[in-house]
Amino acid sequence: MIAPIRVLLQTTIPESNDDWSIDRFSLLRGYLASLIDGNDNTLAEVTARNRESDENGDDPVLKVLDHSAYDELWLFATDAGRGLTAADCAGITRFRQRGGGILLTRDHQDLRSSSCYMGGIGAAHFFHSRNPEPDAARRVIDDSYTRAISWPNYHFGAKGKYQEITAVEPVHDLLRNPASPTGRVRWIPAHPHGGAVGVPAGELHARVIAMGKSRVTGRPLKLAVAFESYTDADGNRLGRGVAESSFHHFADYNWDTTSGCPSFVDEPPGDAIKRSPQVLEDMKAYVRNLALWLSPSGRMRE
């Protein structure tokens, strides 16, 4: 029997009933915990937690993540910009250096920008004030309906709707779905304020794997960057990683708007996923692929 993949789902904020804390990712947690392999064995052992602070202000788990038993970290940067300390980022960086897999995702503008201090994968996230998009022409507001939010704020559609994605050739294993008519993941939940990602300068082991298109400007946009495992100059065998443009792709409210949202969310939701729930099967295929691909053994054949 193969041991389950040990997955940590983690936010960068303390517990809160009125924010994007870990309870708002319960559908994701439940789905991951329900996965089984070809022999009906549990595929993933899932832990979900919010950020906590010790006497130094550091998260007691993240700062020593490299010493943990976890195989993967799925980090939802849901803070206002200071959710990770230097010690947290160092612990996460060492975790990848010892082979741990990382999914790192965030929100628009400068929200969740503390994640850019993480080595490697953090640099794939572009913000307003920190590590902006290399192309200066993209440093403009895309979602013209919400002027209070500055760039990057790419508009992919209302919550409760879905957006079409294009797999970049050659199609990455993360975007394969044998149950789909195209054999690919084609649909993911939409969000009106997506962030920006790209391959960091000088990074030779990463590539953009998925593209989308703004529903306001028609501008093509990068949605996900995949980092392959490789041995760095210090002899560390780095784990795989994915930089995702929006944590809302994984949030309960974007999968099912009846699950509720924080009180500060004021955009009216759509009902496209409610009317066509089968489109979520593409997202679930993507989630399953992530769990398998990010594991140190890269168990994509399960």
The answer on pLDDT for 182 being more than 90 is: yes
User: What local confidence, expressed as pLDDT, does residue 142 receive?
Assistant: 67
Of 140 and 126, the structure prediction assigns the larger pLDDT to: 126
Q: Mean per-residue pLDDT for 202-213?
A: 93
What percent of the chain has a predicted confidence (pLDDT) above 90?
A: 56
User: What local confidence, expressed as pLDDT, does residue 260 receive?
Assistant: 92
The answer on pLDDT for 111 being more than 70 is: no
Residues near 48 by beta carbon (within 8 Å), at least 6 away in sequence: 8, 9, 10, 22, 25, 29
Taking the C-alpha atoms of residue 225 and residue 233, their distance in angstroms, rounded to an integer, is: 22
User: In 80-107, which positions are buried (b, 16+ CB within 10 angstroms) versus exposed (e)?
Assistant: ebebbbebbbbbbbbbbbebbbbbbbbb
77, 13 contact by CB (below 8 A) = no
Confidence of residue 132 (pLDDT cuts 50, 70, 90): confident
User: What local confidence, expressed as pLDDT, does residue 112 receive?
Assistant: 47
Q: Mean per-residue pLDDT for 193-203?
A: 85
Confidence of residue 150 (pLDDT cuts 50, 70, 90): low
Radius of gyration, CA atoms only, the chain: 18
Amino acid identity, position 73: L
> What average pLDDT does the structure give for the chain?
87
What percent of the chain has a predicted confidence (pLDDT) above 70?
A: 85
Confidence of residue 220 (pLDDT cuts 50, 70, 90): confident
How many CB atoms within 10 Å of residue 268? Answer: 9
Angle at 48 between CA 158 and CA 4, to 5 degrees: 110
| Range of weakest confidence among 49-58, 168-177, 195-204 | 195-204
How many CB atoms within 10 Å of residue 146? Answer: 16
2, 40 contact by CB (below 8 A) = no
Residues near 34 by beta carbon (within 8 Å), at least 6 away in sequence: none
Q: Which of 132-146, 177-191, 241-255, 281-295 shows the highest mean pLDDT?
A: 281-295
The answer on pLDDT for 244 being more than 80 is: yes
Residues near 154 by beta carbon (within 8 Å), at least 6 away in sequence: 108, 142, 143, 193, 194, 195, 196, 212, 214, 219, 221, 245
User: What local confidence, expressed as pLDDT, does residue 115 receive?
Assistant: 52
Calculate the alpha carbon distances from 122 to 106, 118, 192 in Å. 10, 5, 22
Calculate the alpha carbon distances from 145 to 1, 2, 83, 98, 195 in Å. 53, 50, 28, 44, 16
**pTM confidence score:** 0.92
Of 71, 45, 5, 35, which Cα lies nearest the Cα of 240?
A: 71
Of 104, 64, 76, 65, which Cα lies nearest the Cα of 241?
A: 104
Residues in the chain: 302
How many CB atoms within 10 Å of residue 209? Answer: 21
User: Where does 5-294 sit in CATH, by number?
Assistant: 3.40.50.880
Q: Mean per-residue pLDDT for 209-233?
A: 89
Q: Mean per-residue pLDDT for 85-102?
A: 94
User: What local confidence, expressed as pLDDT, does residue 113 receive?
Assistant: 46
The answer on pLDDT for 199 being more than 60 is: yes
Tens-digit pLDDT profile for residues 3-44? 899 999 999 999 999 999 999 999 999 999 999 988 899 999
φ, ψ (nearest 5 deg) of residue 223? -105, -35
User: What local confidence, expressed as pLDDT, does residue 52 receive?
Assistant: 97
Give the sign of the dihedral formed by CA 137, CA 142, CA 144, CA 147.
negative
Tens-digit pLDDT profile for residues 248-272? 889 999 899 999 988 988 777 778 7
